[in-house]
Amino acid sequence: MSVRIDDGPELTSPIVRPRSLRMIAVYLALVVVPVALIWFTLRHGLSTPGRPSGGPAAPGVPDVFPRLLIAVPVILAACHLCGRLFRRLAQPSVIGEIIAGVLLGPSVLGALWPAGYATLFPPGLVSTLSTLSQVGLIFFMFLVGYELDLDLVRQRSYTAAVISHVSIVVPFLCGVLLALALYPVLGSGGVGQLAFTLFFGISMSITAFPVLARILSDRGMSRTPVGVMSLTCAAVDDVTAWCVLAAVVAVTRSAAADVALVTAGMSVGFFAVMAFGVRPLLRRLLGPGGLLPEAAVLPVALAGVMLSALATDAIGIHSIFGAFLFGAIMPRGSLPVRRAAGQLHGLTVTLLLPLFFVYTGLHTEFGLLGADGRLWAWCLLITAVAVLAKAGGSTTAARVSGIGWRDSLSLGVLMNCRGLTELVVLNIGMSMGVISPTVFTMLVFMTLVSTVMTAPCLDLLRRLKHDS
């Protein structure tokens, strides 16, 4: 039985009716012929001398975008795998991600497989990674400012203030003394001794508040007396260190004392505008029961971060300070703001921060130290001074303040954790030309050692406590 639809041909009939022939002719004329003309035009038009082709703009210069699409999955996979590995080793995943950046850099991949390294990271791609990593950096600093518990800073006890400030002053002083001896050997030729010395001092003084909070959370120590005290000290340390770093950057970028004073005055004015003008406005717009709908919260936050970063960069200090301050003044207790911060956190931590780690790894060249015993001696001396000054100063201040020895030692170990925050500082110094690539590599080594040793030292102190 044949089935008919309207007046069309029978579906079971093999005969091709005239209507079908007309449809085939129309298809050939309106589809096949234009496609053939397109192919012919592209084939012969693009090969005409003098016309631009769809390949690279110049011989030997690779197209950056396809390379980026290749490099980013490799970067994300390496950071994810190393992060999981270090979590299994009782380390925070961020340590594994930092290590992944070093592994993909010239120190490991570049040394073991130069051709693969050159293919994965051609020169044009490095500048693109730099731009993306800087965007990720200001978003990260916004999140650090937003997640900073301001109540801990406002309600800090005398003990927390003393410990945090001692943990900055003592390593800063040790770093200054060490830099005075190091500058004639490894000082950056285009930068004066003052800038080099100040940056070296601040690089010794950093505590990584986000990494510290992650370690305490993973170990169930966030609500213990030592955990609460260390978080309080780290919060005060963070605020103080960023203020000191802003002053150091202002002094370094200013060629004369009057310019530095102008920069300092503008910085104070910007802080006042943000604290007493922008903050109340944000509370009205984004706070609980705010005027803006929830869909507008994330765009406002993104615009605010970028404009604040632009403002501090124009003032003469680094863009991260504006992003950090904008995060610190964002309204707390607002569900839409928390959701927006969560969305930004996912993008930053998953995509942009791994690019920052790899960009840092591309500038970390342990090959610069080579087999030179003097350079490795300096590297080990820097690491030892940084650890002893930071941990020793914090432990001594805690013990003098009346805290027991074991808790004081635990506090010193926790305050010695540097991590990602230290890399931010080092990249600022590197981008400004204050520290050379060799010194940068030495300080990255110090950062890795001082951060990785945090968890094992806490385990050792816990075992000693149980044994006694």
Question: What's the confidence (pLDDT) of residue 409?
Answer: 92
User: CB–CB of 333/287 below 8 Å?
Assistant: yes
Question: What's the confidence (pLDDT) of residue 8?
Answer: 46
Question: What's the confidence (pLDDT) of residue 152?
Answer: 60
Amino acid sitting at position 63:
D
Question: What's the confidence (pLDDT) of residue 25?
Answer: 67
Running along the chain, 468 residues long, what does each successive block of 10 average in pLDDT? 45 53 68 69 53 45 79 92 88 84 89 90 86 88 80 64 88 92 79 85 84 76 78 77 79 65 82 93 87 89 94 83 89 88 89 88 83 88 94 92 87 88 86 87 92 88 72
Question: What's the confidence (pLDDT) of residue 155?
Answer: 58
Question: What's the confidence (pLDDT) of residue 11?
Answer: 44
**Cβ neighbours of residue 325 closer than 8 Å, sequence gap 6 or more:** 145, 270, 271, 274, 308, 312
Question: What's the confidence (pLDDT) of residue 2?
Answer: 43
